[in-house]
Amino acid sequence: MSTAAPSNERLFSPPAAACAWLWPGLGHIVLGEKRRGLLIMFGVLFLFFSGLLIGGFDAVDRVDDRLWFLAQALCGPIAFVADFINQSVIKDPNVLASFDETRTTGLARVNEIGTLFIALAGLMNLTVIIDALHFAPKDSGRDGSNAASTPRRRSEDQAA
């Protein structure tokens, strides 16, 4: 009688990585890890929208904060949409006539932290993209059939 050995093979999946960039968590959902993908989506979008709430749309600025935007762009198209809104709406004095520029521009720590939140969301999404690109299928515990009482890291699974 033979038993199936746990597989340590990693899938190389560029389409999943592309999906992970298009929308945070989508790469893992495409790979069949729905709950994991939803948790990733929650985490990245939580950081992204927290940053937008703290610093306003001014926290995403492709023109004035180009280096920060390189990290923020890893969140996917939503970062480009936020930048587009910033450039075409927030920075346009004709659109928000009732708000003077000093109110819609993030200053000091509020701007720094808002920018940092979104940049960290992008950098964390980079780890998610890499994880989706070289995806290690979980051989147990997904359906609870072989679940241990304590969570294990993948490296521990490979060592076992």
Partner 1 sequence: MMFPLLLGYLPFVVPLHFFNTWWYVLLVPLAFGIAVIYKATRLARLEDFWRQVIIMTTQIILAMIGLAIALTVLVQLVIPRLPVG
Q: Which is nearer to partner 1, 26 or 128 (CB)?
A: 128
Footprint of partner 1 on 5-44 (CB under 8 A): 35-36, 39-40, 42-44
Please answer whether residues 26 and 78 qualify as being in contact, where contact means their C-beta atoms are separated by less than 8 angstroms: no
Q: Binding marks (x or -) toward partner 1, 92..111, rule CB under 8 A?
A: ----x--x---xxxxxxxxx
Footprint of partner 1 on 119-158 (CB under 8 A): 120-121, 124-125, 127-128, 131, 138, 140-141, 144, 147-148, 150-154, 156-157
Q: Measured between alpha carbons, how far is 140 from 142 in angstroms, rounded to an integer?
A: 6
Instruction: State how far the alpha carbon of 50 is from the alpha carbons of 21, 42, 84, 108, in Å.
Output: 19, 12, 18, 17
CA angle 10, 12, 16 (to 5 degrees): 115
* Number of neighbouring beta carbons within 10 Å of residue 19: 22
Strand partners, 12: 134
Q: Which is nearer to partner 1, 1 or 13 (CB)?
A: 13
Q: Which residues of this protein are in contact with partner 1, per CB under 8 A?
A: 35-36, 39-40, 42-44, 46-47, 50, 52-59, 90, 96, 99, 103-111, 113-114, 116-117, 120-121, 124-125, 127-128, 131, 138, 140-141, 144, 147-148, 150-154, 156-157
